[in-house]
Amino acid sequence: MAKTRPNPAAIPAVARTSRTYKEKFLRDLTEGEFRSSVVFPLLQRQNIRPLSDTHGSDEEGKALTGYQVEIKWTRAGHDAVKLRGQRAGETVWTDLAVDTVSPYVDTRAPLVANTPEERRYQAAYLDDDLITSLWSDTLVVTAQG
């Protein structure tokens, strides 16, 4: 039995777009753009209601003295918030805490002594010890002495 080739005009444009172009397009999206234009539509297609983002309008980070950073957040009715962070050139997230009371204070010493350090933080809601939201957008704070 001979295989029939589909009519190219009948193939959706997205299927004719090269994989390289699609990958570059996705890499160029910010985390928020990726979440809203890719993740949420896929969840909705599967009839899964996307859970709320972790951070609220009042989430904020503030550099304190002694290289400490204070992270304020809202629990929004969830059991707890899981916090993770990265320092300076780190590429792997470090679990910092499961917290039920805001604020969280990061007391880690800088990787290089006596040097201001960029720190990145994300949070996710926990219910019954399970993460029940996407990770928040990344919050960036410079810790100083």
Beta bridge partners of 119: 87, 141
Specify the DSSP class assigned to residue 36. I
Q: What is the mean pLDDT of residues 45-62?
A: 58
Q: What is the residue-averaged pLDDT of the chain? A: 81
Q: What is the pLDDT of residue 9?
A: 61
Q: What is the pLDDT of residue 142?
A: 94
| 8 has pLDDT over 80 | no
Sequence ranges of the chain with CATH classification 2.60.40.10:
60-143
Number of other CB atoms surrounding residue 29 within 10 Å: 13
| 15 has pLDDT over 90 | no
CATH class of the region 60-143: mainly beta
Q: What is the mean pLDDT of residues 26-52?
A: 72
Tell me the Ramachandran region of residue 114: left when phi exceeds 0, alpha when psi lies from -120 to 50, beta otherwise: left
Calpha distance 102→122 (Å, rounded): 14
